[in-house]
Structure 1
Amino acid sequence: MSKIILITGASRGFGKLWAKALLERGDKVAATARNVENLNDLIAEYGDSILPIQLDVNNREDCFAAVNKTKEHFGRIDVLINNAGFGLFGAIEETTEQQARAQMETNFFGLLWVTQAVVPIMREQKSGHIIQVSSFLGLVTLPVLGLYNASKYAVNGLSETLATEVKSFGINVSLIEPNGFSTDWSGASAFQTEANEVYAPIRKAFAEGATPDTWGKPESTADAVLQLIDAENPPLHFLLGKIAYPGVKQVYSERLAEFETWKEVSAAAHGH
């Protein structure tokens, strides 16, 4: 049986790739984009199977309208893929208030608004799968990506909590946590702070740390995402790429060792 899937940020990158993969196998897709003209090729190929919706996820009212339009058009929503977002590159000291707020507005609040809109529909259906496109940088951090890291940590905290709140309604929640992939995330979709030269060595080290093998191939993710969507018991955390797991494992091992070193001081602070 085909699924009804709502994907935000579907005009490029992961969103468009996954929309195409879902349409190819016979699913129905509501695809949102700031510029729906970028969906014209999918519309031409798949016709009524795709519902294009113009959406800026920063507008809460429009997020609710897009979700309701999807429900009215297709009759239900089986899967939400919250994919809209962008990368902000720059040291924390360099980041302007406007840049910081814009990063959180799209990556966190936009995802929150769409999530809030879809939960009542899935709750009424007694079924659904909310897939939040986070990052392995919601589990670990890299320099010169401070606000991006923070937005994805916020997405992870929100979504882990959501999973405990909606499980009894038959709703599953998954976090897709990719390592770096060769999408527009670090190119056309990315924003840069105004560089302060004191951070030049850190930028240089960051750039030199990424080899060609570091970046995954976006088209290789489609099968993994289809398996996640079809899973009877989907995972809450779902890493994408071969860099993510060893990176997360190392950081978490070091974190546990640090907790262990300080555990007596920590316990004494409890007071009794």
Structure 2
Amino acid sequence: MAAICIVLLLLLARAFWQGDIAWQYVSENLFSKSILSGVSNTIIMTFCAMVVGIVLGVIAAIMRMSDNPVLRNISIGYVWLFRGTPALLQLLLWFNLALIFPRIGIPGLLSVRTVDVMTPFVAALLGLGIQQGAYTAEVVRAGLLSIDKGQMEAAQSIGMTKLRATLKIVLPQAMRVIVPPIGNETIGMVKLTSLASVIQYSEVLRSVEDIYYVNSRVIELLIVAAIWYMVAVTILSIAQIYIERHFSKGWGRRDAGAQHATHQALVGEAG
């Protein structure tokens, strides 16, 4: 099987090398100003959308676990709505919000044209960030539920409110469970920003499209986009490893200690 895989990879590399691909266009455009600008916009959108998503996700998760039925049902409805509609549809809705509300603002104080506010950046940020919040809410809730209830009870016994105990005691411990899926969601967001090209946001794919509409070298420019997406994903994957190690400090040693104690107990019983 390993030999077959190696042969297939070599044949694939040979096909790309001998195919009708003008590799000079790849090298010429890889570090062009417009492409680098698109890469920068992709990174900015990724982190901005993830910040919005994480903030909304934490709030929605805490609301979901609240004793207040109103807050709990609002959280359930938010997750249901924004997980149930495609990201592209949400981007288009935000971008065309002016068709429903020509002007937005505070009645009697401030009123602006929606088309001036809902730029491609704002529409992409709202569409991607709010949808991400719905997914993050479930990740955070799963992390909070993974912590023993005794932690909450102990915090409340010394006078902490449930909200403060969640933020100060439970959530920091739950980070070990929360961080890996959030890291995966961040990596996914890098690629999800490509949808923003539909609403004219100048990320990597949009920048590539603007170039190959002029020179007609479609495959070459798509390879450029693929290279930059892979670079971004690789860097984020390495960062995720170190972040996971940081939040897992002590857990590995604790598990090893428990296994050693169990081994010693079994040896003692056998003796």
TM-score, length of structure 2 as denominator length: 0.24
Task: Looking at secondary structure, tell me which structure has more strand per residue.
Answer: 1
Task: Looking at secondary structure, tell me which structure has more helix per residue.
Answer: 2
* Greater relative CO (CA pairs within 8 A, separation 6+): 2
**Bigger-Rg structure (1/2):** 2
